[in-house]
């Protein structure tokens, strides 16, 4: 594919990518912080990082509570709970949520990376986000 970054394989192995992301970030809090920061740097306002206490402002000492990634038509959300992390993929149509699916973190990451890979074909920001996650790990 012309114009595709040579540092990123055209079809990265998503299973290996998910394993790398999880292996490098076994602490769920760290995983959310790294994932949110990497994606926000590339995708900007399509990524929302929520901090403990409800604040959206990034303060150095604040713990990340949730990460929301909006890749039309889906919204990927990972939210810390007392017993771990709750990962969901929601689909909207016409501004109305029509489906919300809860997934294990590994499947959620796989689907998020697959969506980024699909979008990366024609979107430089998504390509950079995918490269940051796959190659940067």
What does each of the 137 residues of the chain score in pLDDT, given as a tens digit? 334 344 444 444 546 555 665 655 457 777 788 888 888 888 899 999 998 865 555 454 568 899 999 998 899 999 988 878 899 999 988 878 889 999 998 899 889 988 888 887 777 877 777 777 666 54
**Global pTM value:** 0.72
pLDDT of 67: 93
Domain ranges within the chain, ordered by starting residue: 27-134
Strand duo 64-71 + 74-81: pairing: antiparallel
pLDDT, residue 109, reads 86
Q: What is the DSSP letter of 46?
A: G
Q: Which of 38, 41, 118, 35 is nearest to 77 (CA)?
A: 35
Supply the pLDDT for residue 118.
84
């Amino acid at each position: 594919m012309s114009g595709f970054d040579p540092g990123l394989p055209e079809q990265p192995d998503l299973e290996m990518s998910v394993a790398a992301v999880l292996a490098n970030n076994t602490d769920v809090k760290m995983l959310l912080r790294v994932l949110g920061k990497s994606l926000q740097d590339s995708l900007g306002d399509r990524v929302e990082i929520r901090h403990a206490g409800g604040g959206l402002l990034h303060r150095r000492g604040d713990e990340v509570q949730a990460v929301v990634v909006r890749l039309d038509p889906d919204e990927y959300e990972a939210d810390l709970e007392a017993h771990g992390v709750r990962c969901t993929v929601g689909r909207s149509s016409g501004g109305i949520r029509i489906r919300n699916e809860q997934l294990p973190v590994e499947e959620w990451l796989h689907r998020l990376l697959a969506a980024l890979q699909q979008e990366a074909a024609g979107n430089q920001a998504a390509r950079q986000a995918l490269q940051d996650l796959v190659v940067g790990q």
